Amino acid sequence: MAVPNWLMNLLATLMIVIAVYFAGRLVVARTHHRKVHVEVNIAELVMGVAMAGMFRSSFNLLPNGLWEVIFTGMAVWFVIENIRFVSRHGFVGGDVIVGYHRVHYPLHVLMSVSMLYMYLAGTSVVVNGSTQMAMTAPMGTRADFVAFPLLFAVSLCGFAVWQLDGISRLRPAQTIVDALDPDLLTTPEGPYPTTSAGSLSTEPDLLERWQLERWLAPRLESGTLIAMSMAMAFLLVLML
């Protein structure tokens, strides 16, 4: 599939921006004492760098073999973490925070396996003495597994829709403190959120909202995960 160079360059730049964003999240969370899903943020940082190299070979920093080892380890890690999460919280139910994290582990199992597949099935080329991947359809016996990229791409799009559907639940808490001042927005303080006498709450569970606000920019994180899922699906379609 012929793809314009400007589009590949644009997507490579977007992946670099996303990688920088996740690196920044880790720093800001530490300096401002906010919570982040550390392993997910590290994984997205690594995937952003790797995908930038897929869209534009000059951005590739590591040889294919090392990337394969990295994504094999990531896939195993997220499979284990997904099993642990399900054993604690189950497949369904839980509060908004559990729902926020439930998508992360299976999504990153899929993303890690997809990245591994692209490195294993893609055509290798030598650039400046380093073996890198070219985004072309698999050849030889690897072409027998052409259904894999289609399955991975459709699954990634499904996860993107799932995240987009739930992103509105991650909005900041909103409390009407005084019926005469309905536009006032407050964030609960102290060990537990409380409201004054006669106040009205627009949230079904204010404690749940307060707990969510301890997390750093969950909606923006979900948005970047959606963008990366779609970019990865696009790479997989190129291999069909």
Give per-residue pLDDT as tens, 150-159. Answer: 999 999 999 9
Closest residue by Cα to residue 70 from 22, 21, 116: 116
Closest residue by Cα to residue 29 from 226, 225, 222, 214: 214
Give per-residue pLDDT as tens, 140-149. Answer: 445 555 688 8
- pLDDT at site 91: 81
pLDDT above 80 (res 26): yes
Lowest mean pLDDT among 52-66, 73-87, 94-108, 174-188: 174-188
Closest residue by Cα to residue 204 from 103, 96, 89: 96
Rg of the chain, C-alpha, whole Å: 21
Proportion of the chain above pLDDT 90, given as a percent: 43
Q: Which residue has the higher pLDDT, 22 or 4?
A: 22
Domain ranges of the chain: 5-238
Torsion over CA: 160, 84, 66, 239 (sign):
negative
